């Protein structure tokens, strides 16, 4: 998703079983298709994102050190990170509001990617129509 507009840019293929978000991202090849100089950000499920990006332009929130208090500069960084990421989280919320993605469906695995792409198109259309993109 584009963090400035909230528009959905790409939908990954369906992955069977429980797979880590970072693994899905790396195996999808999305990072390799990004233009030079374009970074990528994610939540704490994507720790190590900078290592996966060819130019090291990956960013995630800073984790709290074990057994210590969170440093003030980490808190400030995470707040700034959250301000930029909120548009992405709102888009995810918009997508989840569609029954096609939230209801249990016996055949959901067969058509999951097509369904997610259709909902992403509807959300992008909403964002364009109401001037948020």
Residue carrying structure tokens 């440093």: 71
Find how far residue 24's CA is from the centre of its chain: 11
Structure confidence at residue 4 (pLDDT): 83
How buried is 88 (Cβ within 10 angstroms: 0-12 exposed, 13-18 middle, 19+ buried)? Answer: buried
Residue range 20-42, pLDDT digits in tens: 888 888 888 888 888 888 888 88
42 near 21, Cβ under 8 Å? Answer: yes
Q: What is the pTM of this model?
A: 0.76
Provide DSSP, 15-53: --S---HHHHHHHHTHHHHSPTT--EE--GGGTTHHHHS
**Contact status, residue 47 vs residue 22, Cβ threshold 8 Å:** yes
Q: pLDDT exceeding 70 applies to what percent of the chain?
A: 93
What is the rounded CA–CA span in Å between residue 37 and residue 80? 21
């Amino acid at each position: 998703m584009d963090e400035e507009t909230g528009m959905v840019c790409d939908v990954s293929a369906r992955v069977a079983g429980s797979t880590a978000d970072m693994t899905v991202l790396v195996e999808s090849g999305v990072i390799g298709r990004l233009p030079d100089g374009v970074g990528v950000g994610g939540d704490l499920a994507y720790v190590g994102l900078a290592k996966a990006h060819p130019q090291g332009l990956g960013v995630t929130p800073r984790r709290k050190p074990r057994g210590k208090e969170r440093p003030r500069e980490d808190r400030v960084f995470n707040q700034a990170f959250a301000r930029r990421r909120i548009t992405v989280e709102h888009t995810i919320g918009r997508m989840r509001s569609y029954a096609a993605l939230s209801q249990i469906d016996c055949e959901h695995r067969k058509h999951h990617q097509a369904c997610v792409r259709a909902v992403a198109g509807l959300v992008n259309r909403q964002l364009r129509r109401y001037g948020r993109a």
